[in-house]
Amino acid sequence: MKILADILGSTILFGVPLLLVALGGMFAERSGVINLALEGIMIIGALFGCLFLRNANLTGWGEAHPQLAMLTAILLAGFVGALFSLLLSVAAINLKANQTISGTALNQFAPAFAVVFSWAIQGRGQTTINIPSWIRITTANFGIAPSADPGFWETFLFKSFYLTTPVALVLFTASCVILYKTRLGLRLRACGEHPQAAASVGVNVYKMRFIGTTISGFLGGIGGLAFTIAAGSSFQSTVAGYGFLALAVMIFGNWKPVSIFFAANFFAFFKVISSYSSNIPFLPKFENIKSSSYIYQCIPYVVTMLVLIFTSKRSQAPLAEGQPYDKAQR
């Protein structure tokens, strides 16, 4: 039972970054911009979030107010991510550049910048930024004494609980409301389907796409920090391809927030299963095969592929995604 709690807890931990980044991708694509730069945005967000946590730890302020520091780091990561995504917006929206190429440029820039920057800040050759351990939310934060033998609920809730999880839930709810229940959401979606039609009724397509991409940068930056926290205790200038996986999750979730929520957790679940495979009693162990963990590491990707094969016939990508908006066109 405890292993189940462990798996479910970790699924949420790894599902959170996928959810946030995929939602970010969704906002950009629903407004008509393909945001291939999510990987880079995640790295930049994680870089500044982790640097802030590191400095908060050095001054001692962080340990005194751990969750306040964490919240600031999250907001900072989001803010920097949004700022970084402006580079994509300017190129792809105003200057009508190829969105794939400018996205690739940002992806190339981010990890290199992260290495150079953390090298410059921390001194020669030190490119790993350690994340302080006080950011984890424990039972003590709720005034519960930690038990010697944590049961199902305690393991599930508190083994790996960070502020990013509740923040992600709030952002997820907000995303659903913004996309479907507000004027902004309606206009945003119109710009992704038929920008000329939207423009004809007075919607500023450039502005809408700017907003879409900036939201995606904000969510991507937070997602980067959330991933780094989930993946370990340090930031090493990489998010291990999660930005691209999030794009897969977004397509898997058919560009719809609720479906993306399930898609993210589905993928995260298989990902976690693969890393816990040796501890799960009923899974085959492949004892004759060396390094058999690679078999399980394949599974999330194979399963996603299979699901996509069966669901993509009905896939509904935004019609105008990837096409620069040209006022003169009809």
Partner 1 sequence: MKKSSFRNNPALAGLLASFTAIFLGLAFGFIMLVVFNPSFAGAGIVKILTKGLSSKEKFAKVLYQAAPLMMTGLSVGFAMKTGLFNIGGSGQYLIGTFCALMFGVVFKLPWYLSLLAAMLGGAFWGIFPGLFKALFNVNEVITAIMFNWIGLFLVNLTFSNTPTVLANYYGASVADRTANIEAANPSAVIPKLGMDKLFNSSYMNISFFVAMLVAAVVYIIIDKTVFGYELKACGFNQKASIYAGINAKMNVVISMMIAGALAGLGGGIYYLCGTAQYTIEKVLPAMGFNGIPVALLANSNPIGIIFSALFISYIQVGGEALQPEYAKEIVDIIIACIIYLSALSVLMNGFITGLLKKKDNQEEAKEEAPLEETR
- Residue ranges in contact with partner 1 by CB under 8 A: 87, 91, 95-98, 100-102, 104-106, 108-109, 111-113, 115-116, 119-120, 124-125, 127, 241, 244-245, 247-248, 251-252, 289-292, 294-295, 297-298, 301-302, 304-305, 308-310, 312-313, 315, 317
Residue among 244 and 262 whose Cβ is closer to partner 1: 244
Tokens standing for residue 303: 């399963």
Residue among 105 and 184 whose Cβ is closer to partner 1: 105
Tokens standing for residue 104: 């690739």
The string of DSSP codes covering 225-283 is HHHHHHH-SEE-S--TTHHHHHHHHHHHTTT-HHHHHHHHHHHHHHHHHHHHGGG-TTS
Residue among 24 and 132 whose Cβ is closer to partner 1: 24
Shortest distance in whole angstroms from residue 197 CB to partner 1: 20
Residue among 54 and 271 whose Cβ is closer to partner 1: 271
**Distance from C-alpha of 150 to C-alpha of 238, rounded to nearest angstrom:** 33
Shortest distance in whole angstroms from residue 25 CB to partner 1: 11
Tokens standing for residue 164: 């990013």
Residue among 165 and 236 whose Cβ is closer to partner 1: 236
**Distance from C-alpha of 216 to C-alpha of 212, rounded to nearest angstrom:** 6
Shortest distance in whole angstroms from residue 14 CB to partner 1: 15
Shortest distance in whole angstroms from residue 51 CB to partner 1: 15
Pairing of β 129-130 and β 234-235: antiparallel
Tokens standing for residue 274: 């693969």
Shortest distance in whole angstroms from residue 55 CB to partner 1: 18
Shortest distance in whole angstroms from residue 9 CB to partner 1: 23
**CA distances for 279 relative to 138, 153, 156, 267, angstroms:** 24, 19, 16, 19
Residue among 77 and 110 whose Cβ is closer to partner 1: 110
Characterize 246-273 residue by residue with b for buried, 16 or more Cβ atoms within 10 angstroms of its Cβ, and e for exposed.
bbbbbbbbbbbbebbbebbbbbbbbbbb
**Distance from C-alpha of 225 to C-alpha of 72, rounded to nearest angstrom:** 12
Shortest distance in whole angstroms from residue 292 CB to partner 1: 8
Residue among 165 and 304 whose Cβ is closer to partner 1: 304
